[in-house]
Amino acid sequence: MLTKDQAICIRAVDYSETSQVVTFFTKATGKISAIAKGSKRPKSAFGGPLEILSHGRIVFSDSNREKLATLTEFESAASTAGLTPHGTQSLLRNDLFALNCCLFAAELLNLLTDEHDPHPDLFDSFLQFLHDVQDAADKPEMLALLILFQLALLKEVGLQPILSHCANCRTRYEGRETRDGVYFSSSANGLICRDCEPAFQDKFRLSKSAAACLANLRLLAESPQKTLLEIEELLAHHFTELTGHRPKMAKHIVNP
């Protein structure tokens, strides 16, 4: 059976001299992995090797979900949506940090979603994120977009962190506290107040400005790079706790 879907490539690895195994995040089917036979041949049916972050319409046959699907068509959405088929290269020419933000988001999407588990809203958020990062004026704007996408991803997969009150004692966090001492705990999946902090071994201490930002995400847009990088460091730590290893792209964002 052939399935048509909108898709963004989130991973592409060589399978042989001429073929690749590609992972797509699709709108209606969710994540799928497929073999793209002959994609590396000069006259490939896909217009050249498939690249991570390319976006378009795909057709794939997926009769047996235990096995890799077979990609039969890839039609780039470049002309309509602005992302080129060879998305990586065009981004790379423009801005390496923007590219790294997109690759980090793709890696996390791959780590946190399951195959054949559709998240159409998350697909739209990811596509919008890719466009917005390319249009972003500077590094703080890219970081703010990345943080919002990461939080949207966590929410979609059922892991939305608790940021409005202490995840342990439920004391409301107003974001206006003047005293120090707000923490984040991955095991509690949220902010932890100073009174509860001793009970959490895995706590991550936050500055007042970072904690205020998390409690009120509208502050992200006007926050300095230092605060945004601190939140990214926290999120990289949190994703490490959630997945069991530090995402590979994290070092390109927090310690460039």
Whole-number minimum distance, CB 199 to Zn ion, in Å? 9
Instruction: Tell how far CA 253 is from the center of its chain.
Output: 13
Whole-number minimum distance, CB 249 to Zn ion, in Å? 33
Residue type, 65: R
Chain positions contacting Zn ion, by CB under 5 A? 166, 168-169, 193, 196
* Residue closer to Zn ion, measured from CB, 157 or 167: 167
Whole-number minimum distance, CB 232 to Zn ion, in Å? 24
How many Å apart are CA 15 and CA 98, to the nearest integer? 28
Structure tokens at 19: 């073929």
* Residue closer to Zn ion, measured from CB, 193 or 235: 193
Whole-number minimum distance, CB 13 to Zn ion, in Å? 45
* Residue closer to Zn ion, measured from CB, 53 or 182: 182
How many Å apart are CA 155 and CA 222, to the nearest integer? 23
* Residue closer to Zn ion, measured from CB, 55 or 203: 203
Residues 6 or more apart from 210 whose CB is under 8 A from it? 227, 230, 231, 234
Strand order from edge to edge, sheet including 182-185:
190-192, 182-185, 204-206
* Residue closer to Zn ion, measured from CB, 129 or 173: 173
Structure tokens at 16: 């042989």
Q: What is the CA radius of gyration of the chain?
A: 20
Instruction: Tell how far CA 90 is from the center of its chain.
Output: 19
Whole-number minimum distance, CB 70 to Zn ion, in Å? 52
